[in-house]
């Protein structure tokens, strides 16, 4: 009796190569992430040209070259590296939300509304649940500062003290 093939999902930007064993079983191997350099090589263009196509820069890229680059992106299943883009743009398109209790319907509804609003602007929300503990507020403020989020929204709950306000002011001024 033949066993069903395992269903493999792949991380975005990773290529899958299918091979067969000597017994005829199909195996899938995940290859390393595709880079912008590989896209440029496949399309036979410079990295700058790939970047212009990706960023839709109003620089002169012919329609044929654009099609070649987009074809290479599709063939290789290329996904831009959000971390690299964040470092270059100095923006993460991420907002941190610190709330006292996500299981409370009031705060859950607030979180949902914020997420809906920021997602329309192509931002991502990181929810941080403090369970009304001051040390967790401090931890999340530090973590969000390390992740260099573009903004922090503090929900109510009465756990903010002077040190939290000072930490938040440090994050806002870029001194974390």
Residue spans per domain, the chain? 14-80, 90-172
Tell me which of 100 and 155 has the higher pLDDT. 100
Instruction: Indicate the fold that domain 90-172 takes in CATH.
Output: Rossmann fold (3.40.50)
Rounded to the nearest 10 degrees, the angle between the axes of helix 63-76 and helix 47-54 is 90
- Cα separation, 40 vs 141, in Å, equals 40
Residue indicated by tokens 């990706």: 54
For the chain, the residue count is: 176
pLDDT band at 9 (very low <50, low <70, confident <90, very high): very low
- Cα separation, 61 vs 111, in Å, equals 42
Going from the C-alpha of 53 to that of each of 40, 103, 105, 120, 128, the distances in angstroms are 11, 44, 44, 23, 36
Write out pLDDT tens, residues 80-94.
877 777 777 778 899
Instruction: Compute the average pLDDT of residues 97-108.
Output: 92
Instruction: Indicate the fold that domain 14-80 takes in CATH.
Output: 434 Repressor (Amino-terminal Domain) (1.10.260)
- Cα separation, 172 vs 66, in Å, equals 40
Tell me the two tokens of residue 129: 């649940």
Secondary element (H or E) of residue 47 = helix 47-54
Name the least confident of 52-66, 110-124, 132-146, 159-173. Answer: 159-173
Instruction: Compute the average pLDDT of residues 19-48.
Output: 82
Residue 126: helix, strand or coil by DSSP? strand
């Amino acid at each position: 009796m033949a066993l069903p093939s395992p269903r493999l999902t792949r991380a975005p930007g990773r290529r899958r190569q299918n091979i067969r064993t000597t017994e005829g079983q199909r195996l899938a191997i995940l290859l390393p992430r595709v880079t912008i350099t590989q896209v440029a090589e496949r399309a036979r263009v410079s990295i700058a040209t790939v970047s212009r196509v990706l960023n839709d820069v109003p620089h002169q890229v012919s329609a044929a070259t654009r099609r070649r680059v987009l074809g290479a992106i599709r063939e290789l299943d290329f996904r831009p590296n959000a971390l690299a883009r964040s470092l270059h743009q100095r923006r993460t398109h991420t907002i941190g939300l610190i709330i006292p209790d996500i299981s409370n319907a009031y705060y859950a509804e607030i979180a949902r509304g914020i997420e809906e609003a920021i997602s329309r602007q192509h931002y991502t929300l990181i929810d941080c649940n403090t369970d009304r503990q001051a040390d967790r507020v401090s931890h999340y403020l530090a973590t969000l500062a390390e992740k260099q989020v573009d903004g922090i929204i503090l929900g109510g709950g009465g756990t903010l003290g002077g040190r939290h306000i000072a930490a938040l002011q440090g994050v806002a001024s870029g001194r974390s």
